Amino acid sequence: MNSKDYQAGVLSTESAPKSLEINQISLHAVLTMVIAASEVADLVKRRLYYGKPIPDAGLQAQLTAVSNMANFLIQGQEFDPAAINARMVPAALEELAALPEEIRGMDLDKVNIRLLHASLGMFTESGELLKAMLKQYETGTLDKTNFGEELGDADWYKMVAHDETGVSEEDSRTLNNRKLLDKAAGRYKSGAFTADQAVNRDLAAERTILASPADMNAPVK
C-alpha cells in the first residue's frame, strides 16, 4: 500500500480530542519517567551494538529519575486515580508554586495533542515489540504475526505525526539517509557503519543537514 492511501486510512481512524483531560503535573511526571526509561534503553543499545561502555553516572541518573517519578505518581497522588484524571483549573494552580522555576510555565494548552498521541503511541508500540523480544529471550519463540502487527501499529502513529508536521514519509526517509550517508557531513562518511562513527557523532553537522533540505530529491553526495 502506498503512503497516501495508508495515510487516508490512518486519519479516518484517528482519535483527536479537543483538550487533554489530565492533571498537568502528573503528565509532566509521566513524560519525565518514560523519557528516562528510554535513555536507559539507549545506553544498553549503544553498549550492545556500538561497544560503548555504559557510564555509571549516566545510568544512575536515569534510573533515579524513573524511580523518583514513579514514587511521585504513587505517593503524590495518594493512590487516587481522580487526582491524575482531573484537569487542573488555571485559576487554582497553587501546586505549581512548589515546582522548580523552569517548569512552572508548563501548560496543557501548549501541547500539540496529535503529536503527543503519536509520540506516546510509538513509545508504547516499542514496548510491545520489546515484550516479543523478552518472550523470545525467555522461550526461544518469536510470534512473527504479533511482531508484524506491532510494526504496523507503530507505522500508524508515525503517519499521524507526518500529517501533523507536514513532513512526508518520503521526505523523512530522504533526510535520514542524508544524515547517515552524506560524504561531507553525514555520520558514516565512508558509506558504511563503524562503531567509532556511531558513538562519536558530529551532531551540529547532522543538524545542518536536517535543517537545510534544499532539494529533497537530490541524491546523497
123-152 pLDDT per residue, tens: 999 999 999 999 999 999 999 999 999 999
The angle subtended at Cα 124 by Cα 121 and Cα 125, nearest 5°, is 85
- In whole angstroms, give the CA distance from residue 38 to residue 68: 15
Provide the whole-model pTM: 0.84
Q: 125 Cβ partners below 8 Å, 6+ apart?
A: 150, 153, 154, 157
For residue 162 the three cell numbers come to: 507526518
- In whole angstroms, give the CA distance from residue 203 to residue 185: 10
Report how many helices (DSSP H) and strands (DSSP E) the chain contains, helices first.
9, 0
User: What's the gap between Cα 149 and its chain centre?
Assistant: 19
55 pLDDT band, cuts 50/70/90, is: very high
- In whole angstroms, give the CA distance from residue 40 to residue 56: 11
Burial of 214 (0-12, 13-18, 19+ CB in 10 A): exposed
For residue 20 the three cell numbers come to: 487533554
Side-chain-side CA neighbours of 190 within 13 Å: the count stands at 7
pLDDT value at 88 more than 80? no
- In whole angstroms, give the CA distance from residue 206 to residue 185: 6
Rg of the chain in Å (alpha carbons): 21
Kindly state the average pLDDT of the residues 162-173: 92
In 3-state terms the chain splits into helix, strand, coil percentages (rounded to 5) of 70, 0, 30
Please report the pLDDT score of residue 73 as a whole number.
84
pLDDT digits over 196-217, tens only?
Answer: 888 888 888 888 888 865 554 4
Kindly report the average pLDDT of the chain as a whole number: 86
Give whichever of 39-43, 91-95, 199-203 has the largest mean pLDDT: 39-43
Instruction: Read off the DSSP letter of residue 182.
Output: -
